[in-house]
């Protein structure tokens, strides 16, 4: 039998209170994966734990998305009102690359995001056919899939996997991060799978998003895109100063031999013209200026699961990286 609204709110508040995460001081040891250098002044301006706005992205089936939205958007509107978080979903035909899953984005301060997620999971759990779409292989547990920028994954993995093991022990949930070599070209997010019951899932997500938000480069590498078919690479994937090292979270270069490398980056179909320029003017200038070779895939040759064309750049590592930055600038410029 359904509880009275007042009792539901009290129970939810109590559950969320149990999820509050204490902000721990930064560890002296480096994370498993190298993190971008942080500016000294960024740390002093960092909001207190729990006050900073966070972004959490999840993969959901079409059935789950329909349940979350509700008739004429009634459910999603109610969830947003109750939580004060913002909830967005990709359209019914806009799937995360390589899957048949839509993207759900929840944004707000940590407690708002957790409240919204709790409401969403309760709704899904109450609809058996929809709940089955989130069932783990054991047929009993629920599995959540979060999208986390690759450049930030080291924060939640920790040196030798210490952080993620600690989160699993704390929450009693099973937490795994997809391998880097499983990333599709042009996709800068990795999938974090969290498996357990509702309470375990909520605790694990609380730990994960709180830890991620503590990374001083968090805002550089997160974005509010839900449609990965047309989303350009986040600006944070471009180096801020100089051109040392690979673009964090971006496409990984492939070594062609001594002093040469090659990288393939995604370009939305609608922005290919801007990269080429009238009569090839822009792309020819890039080749001449930077000293690289640039190839653009045919009109029907897209990054799998997207409408992004493939732009392959080859040459000296530093030149390739400069070309990536210049092309990304062209992509991000408003259409004339």
Q: What angle do CA 118, 120, 121 make, to 5 degrees?
A: 65
Q: pTM for the complete prediction?
A: 0.61
State how far the Cα of 193 lies from the Cα of 142, in Å rounded to an integer: 10
Where are the alpha helices (H) located in the chain, listed in sequence order?
A: 5-17, 40-44, 62-69, 74-83, 110-125, 128-131, 153-157, 162-171, 198-213, 218-221, 272-276, 281-286, 317-332
For the record, the structure tokens of 113 come out as: 């995001």
Per-residue pLDDT tens digits of the chain, which is 336 residues long: 444 444 444 455 555 556 666 544 443 333 444 444 333 334 344 555 557 799 999 999 999 999 999 999 999 999 999 999 999 999 888 898 888 899 999 999 999 999 999 999 999 988 888 888 888 887 788 999 999 988 899 999 999 999 999 999 999 999 999 987 777 766 778 999 999 999 999 999 999 999 999 999 898 888 888 887 654 444 334 333 333 334 434 455 555 556 688 888 888 998 899 899 888 888 888 888 778 899 999 988 998 888 899 999 988 887 887 888 888 878 877 766
Q: What distance in Å separates the CA atoms of residue 168 and residue 203, rounded to the nearest whole number? A: 10
- Name all domains of the chain by residue range, CATH numbers in brackets: 50-221 (3.30.310.210), 253-332 (3.30.1370.10)
Cα distances from 37 to residues 163, 192, 221, 241, 271, in angstroms, run 20, 24, 13, 10, 31
- For residues 303 and 296, give the distance between their C-alpha atoms in angstroms, rounded to a whole number: 12
The answer to whether 264 touches 304, Cβ cutoff 8 Å, is no
- Report the C-alpha gap between 115 and 106 in whole angstroms: 10
Is 326 in a helix, a strand, or coil? helix
Q: No. of H helices and E strands in the chain?
A: 13, 10
Q: Which helix (H) or strand (E) holds 60?
A: strand 53-60
Pull the structure tokens for residue 210.
Answer: 């709180």
166: alpha, beta or left? (left if phi > 0; alpha if psi -120 to 50): alpha
- 311: nearest Cα among 237, 303, 333: 303
């Amino acid at each position: 039998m359904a509880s009275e609204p007042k009792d539901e709110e009290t129970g939810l508040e109590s559950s969320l209170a149990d999820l509050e995460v204490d902000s721990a001081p930064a560890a002296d040891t480096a994370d498993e994966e190298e993190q971008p250098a942080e500016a000294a002044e960024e740390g002093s301006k960092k909001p207190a734990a729990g006050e900073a706005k966070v972004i959490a992205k999840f993969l959901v089936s079409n059935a789950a998305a329909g349940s979350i939205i509700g008739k004429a958007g009634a459910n999603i509107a109610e969830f947003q009102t109750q939580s004060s978080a913002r909830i967005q979903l990709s359209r019914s035909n806009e799937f995360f690359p390589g899957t048949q899953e839509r993207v759900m984005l929840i944004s707000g301060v940590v407690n708002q995001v957790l409240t919204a997620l709790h409401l969403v999971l309760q709704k899904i759990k109450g609809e058996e056919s929809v709940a089955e779409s989130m069932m783990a292989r054991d047929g009993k547990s629920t599995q959540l899939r979060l999208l986390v920028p690759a450049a930030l994954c080291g924060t939640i993995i920790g040196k030798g996997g210490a952080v993620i093991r600690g989160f699993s022990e704390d929450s009693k949930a099973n937490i795994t991060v997809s391998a880097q070599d499983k990333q599709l070209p042009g996709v800068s997010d990795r999938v974090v799978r969290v498996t357990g019951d509702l309470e375990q899932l909520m605790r694990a997500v609380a730990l994960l998003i709180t830890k991620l938000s503590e990374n001083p480069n968090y805002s550089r590498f997160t974005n509010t895109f839900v449609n990965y078919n047309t989303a350009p690479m986040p600006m944070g994937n471009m180096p801020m100063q100089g051109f040392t090292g690979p673009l964090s979270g971006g496409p990984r270069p492939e070594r062609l031999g001594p002093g040469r490398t090659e990288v393939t980056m995604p370009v939305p179909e609608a922005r290919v013209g801007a990269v080429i320029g009238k009569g090839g003017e822009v792309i020819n200038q890039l080749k001449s200026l930077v000293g690289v070779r640039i190839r653009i895939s045919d009109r029907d040759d897209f990054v799998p699961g997207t409408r992004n064309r493939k732009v392959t750049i080859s040459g000296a590592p530093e030149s390739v990286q400069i070309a990536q930055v210049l092309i990304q600038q062209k992509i991000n410029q408003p259409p004339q």
